[in-house]
Amino acid sequence: MAFSDFKSIADVQQAYHIFYHEEDFIQFRDCTPSATLVSELAFSRQYIDVLTSEASR
């Protein structure tokens, strides 16, 4: 059966017995960033002009 024979995706799912369900793909975990990362980000925020600098692109 040609895809153009179907009026909607729901029709395709029904014809081919396709079922789906939605759920979160990524499981979030609580974690804290390392002190080094926090320090690097603070430095970058303070000394690099993130709005106009070429380094920010």
Q: What is the pTM of this model?
A: 0.40
Contact 37, 43 (CB under 8 A): no
CA–CA separation, 54 vs 57, rounded Å? 5
Q: Report the pLDDT value the prediction gives residue 37, as an integer from 0 to 100.
A: 96
Per-residue pLDDT of the chain (57 residues; tens, 9 = 90+): 787 889 998 999 999 999 988 888 888 888 999 999 999 999 988 888 767 766 655
Q: Report the pLDDT value the prediction gives residue 38, as an integer from 0 to 100.
A: 96
Contact 14, 6 (CB under 8 A): no
Q: Please state the domain extents for the chain.
A: 25-57
Residue linked to tokens 């609580």: 30
Q: Produce one character per residue of 10-20: b if its CB has 16 or more CB atoms within 10 Å, e if not.
A: eeeeeeeeeee
